Structure 1
Amino acid sequence: MVISDSSYALVTYLKEADVLSISWKLKPDTDQFRNLYWQVLQFVKTNPKICYYSTDISRIGPFDAEQEIWLSREYYPQVSDIIGVDIYAAVIFSEGHFKALVNNYIASQLLPVHDFIHFNYFTDKAEAMDWLLYMQKGQDLAMVAKS
């Protein structure tokens, strides 16, 4: 199901896999970036308990510092309030971006830690989806064990 398709991003919800996916096409400006994430949050409000997400930034490279700060300080706390359980997020980036991260790693400024979000990083979309599906199976088994 397509939630949003603009010149800068495609947002889809794969109901059968229970994964909400953002694929960035072009580097968004601040307003586009925030509006898209607010739109995703509105969708999540009407479809609660979506706990599996993928964000493909392979075409645009990393978010800028202002975008990362906004996500961490404003957006993620609201996600936590709405969903109320742990979520799993696969971030997909290019091989070049990955190599740059490894070769140029410098600890960034301190931002709040959000323990409810479990990030994993990939350079391959299929591997990211496999991880999300694996995490779902693990959660399903944990729920059965609690019963």
Structure 2
Amino acid sequence: MVISDSSYAFVNYSKEANVLCISWKLKPDTEQFRNLYWQVLQFVKNSPNIRFYSTDISRIGPLDAEQEAWLSREYYPQVSDIIGEDIYAAVIFSEGHFKALVNNYIASQLLPLHEFIHFNYFTVKEEAMDWLLYMQKGQDLAIFAKS
């Protein structure tokens, strides 16, 4: 199901896989970035139990510091309030971005930690989806074991 398709991003939700995917096409400006994430959150509010996400930034490179800070300080707390459970997020970036991160790693400014979000990082979309599906199966087994 397509949630949004603009010149700068494509967002869809796969009900079968229970994964919401954001694929950035072009580097968004601040307003586009925030509006897209608010649109995603509105969809999540109306579709409970979406706990698995994929964000593909391979075409745009890293998010800037302002975007990261906004997500951490404003957006993620609202996500936590709405979902109320742990979520799993696969971030996909280019091989070049990955190499730059490894070669130029510098600890960033301290932002709040959000322990309810479990991030994992990939350079191949299929591997990201495999991880999300694996995490879902683990959650299903944990629920089954409790009953």
TM range (shorter): over 0.9
Instruction: Report the secondary structure of 2:63's partner residue.
Output: coil
Alignment of 1:1-147 (within 5 A): 1-147=1-147
Residue 49 of structure 1, CA deviation: 1.2
Residue 27 of structure 1, CA deviation: 0.0
TM-score, length basis structure 2: 1.00
Instruction: Report the secondary structure of 1:12's partner residue.
Output: strand
Distance in 2 of aligned mates of 1:7 and 1:134:
32
Segments of 5+ residues of structure 1 without an aligned counterpart are none
Distance in 1 of aligned mates of 2:8 and 2:67:
15
Distance in 2 of aligned mates of 1:41 and 1:134:
24
Distance in 1 of aligned mates of 2:90 and 2:77:
19
Instruction: Report the secondary structure of 1:118's partner residue.
Output: strand
Instruction: Report the secondary structure of 1:120's partner residue.
Output: strand
> Partner amino acid for 1:15?
K
TM-score, length basis structure 1: 1.00
Residues 19-58 of structure 1: CA deviation (Å, up to 9, x unaligned):
0000000000000000000000000000011000000000
Distance in 2 of aligned mates of 1:96 and 1:88:
24
Distance in 2 of aligned mates of 1:35 and 1:49:
22
Instruction: Report the secondary structure of 2:53's partner residue.
Output: strand
Distance in 2 of aligned mates of 1:117 and 1:57:
18
Matched-pair identity in %: 86
Segments of 5+ residues of structure 2 without an aligned counterpart are none
Runs of 4+ in 1 over 2 A off after TM superposition: none
Distance in 2 of aligned mates of 1:48 and 1:61:
30
Distance in 2 of aligned mates of 1:84 and 1:68:
21
Aligned length: 147
Instruction: Report the secondary structure of 2:22's partner residue.
Output: strand
